[in-house]
Chains A and B, each alone.
Chain A
Amino acid sequence: MAHKLGTKRNGLTRRQLLTGAAAFGAGVGLIGPWRRARAQSGKPILIGLTCDASGTFADSGQADRRGMILAIEEANAKGGVLGRKVEARWEDTETDASVAVRKAQRLIERDRIDFMIGALSSGVAAPLSDLAQRHGIIYFNSNSSADTVTNEKCHRTNFVWDANNWMFANALGPLVAKNLGTKWFILTHDYVWGKNATAATRENMKKVSADELGELMVPQGTRDFSAQLLRIRSAKPQVVIANVAGIEQTALREQAYEFGADKDAAWVFPQQDFPDMVTLGPKKAFGYFCTTWHYTVDAPGSKEFVANFRKRWAGAPIPVPDNVSCNGYLAMREMLRAIERAGTTRNHDVIKALEGHVIKDTFRKYPSTIRPWDHLVGQMLTLAKTKREADMKEKWDMIEMIAEIPPEVAAPPQSLSKCKMEAIADTPVYGG
Chain B
Amino acid sequence: MPDVAELTTHLLNGVVLGLLYAVIALGFMLILGTMEVINFSHGVLFALGGYLALALQPHVGWWAALVLAPLGVGAVGLVLELGVRRTYGRDPLFGLLFTFGAALALEEIIRIVWGPGGYTISPPDFVSGPFHLGFLFYSKYRVLVAVLAVVVLALVWWFLEKTPYGAVVKAGAHDGEMVRALGINLTRMRSLVFALGTVMAGLAGVIAAPMWSLKPTIGAEAVMPAFIVVVIGGIGSFGGAVLGGLLLGMASGLSNLVIPRGSILVMYVLMAVVLLLRPRGLMGQKSMLEL
Contacts and interface: CB of A to CB of B under 8 A. Distances in A.
Direct contact of A and B (CB under 8 A): yes
A281 B10 CA distance: 28
Nearest to B16: A224
A259 B139 contact: yes
Contacts of A284: 120
A279 B118 contact: yes
A227 B138 CA distance: 11
A206 interface: no
B161 interface: no
A418 to B, nearest CB: 28
A251 interface: yes
Contacts of A250: 118, 120, 213
A92 B111 CA distance: 14
Contacts of A222: 256, 260
Nearest to B262: A219
A219 B263 contact: yes
Contact of A227 (B10, B128, B141): B10
Interface string B117-152: 111100100001110000001110100000000000
B115 interface: yes
A64 B155 CA distance: 49
B115 A224 contact: no
For this complex, into which size category does the number of interface residues on chain B fall?
35 or more
B10 A251 contact: no
Given A59-B117, A230-B137, A279-B120, A219 B129 contact: no
Contact of B264 (A219, A275, A278, A281): A219
Interface in B136-180: 137-139, 141
A231 B263 contact: no
Contacts of B212: 223, 251
- Residue of B117, B123, B261 with highest tally of chain A CB at under 10 A: B117
- Residue of A59, A217, A230, A278 with highest tally of chain B CB at under 10 A: A230
Contacts of A254: 120, 210-211, 213
A224 B128 contact: no
Contacts of B215: 247
B241 to A, nearest CB: 21
A217 B139 contact: no
Contacts of B139: 226, 255, 258-259
B213 A217 contact: no
A46 interface: no
B9 to A, nearest CB: 5
Given A226-B139, A227-B9, A190 B120 contact: no
Contacts of B130: 258-260
B287 interface: no
B152 to A, nearest CB: 20
Interface string A367-382: 0000000000000000
A301 interface: no
B5 interface: yes
A255 B111 CA distance: 25
A96 B130 CA distance: 37
Interface string B1-36: 001011001100100010000000000000000000
B116 interface: yes
Given A226-B139, A230-B6, A230-B9, A53 B116 contact: yes
Interface string A36-62: 000000000000000001110011001
Contacts of A55: 116, 217
A275 B264 CA distance: 29
Contacts of B118: 59, 247, 250, 276, 279
A33 interface: no
Nearest to B142: A226
B116 A227 contact: no
Contacts of B5: 230, 234
Given A247-B118, A255-B211, A281-B120, 10 more contacts: A54-B111, A55-B116, A190-B260, A223-B211, A226-B138, A226-B139, A227-B257, A247-B215, A254-B120, A317-B115
Interface of A: 53-55, 58-59, 62, 190, 216-219, 221-224, 226-227, 230-231, 233-234, 247, 250-251, 254-255, 258-260, 275-276, 278-281, 284, 317
Interface of B: 3, 5-6, 9-10, 13, 17, 111, 115-120, 123, 128-130, 137-139, 141, 210-213, 215-217, 221, 253, 256-257, 260-261, 263-264
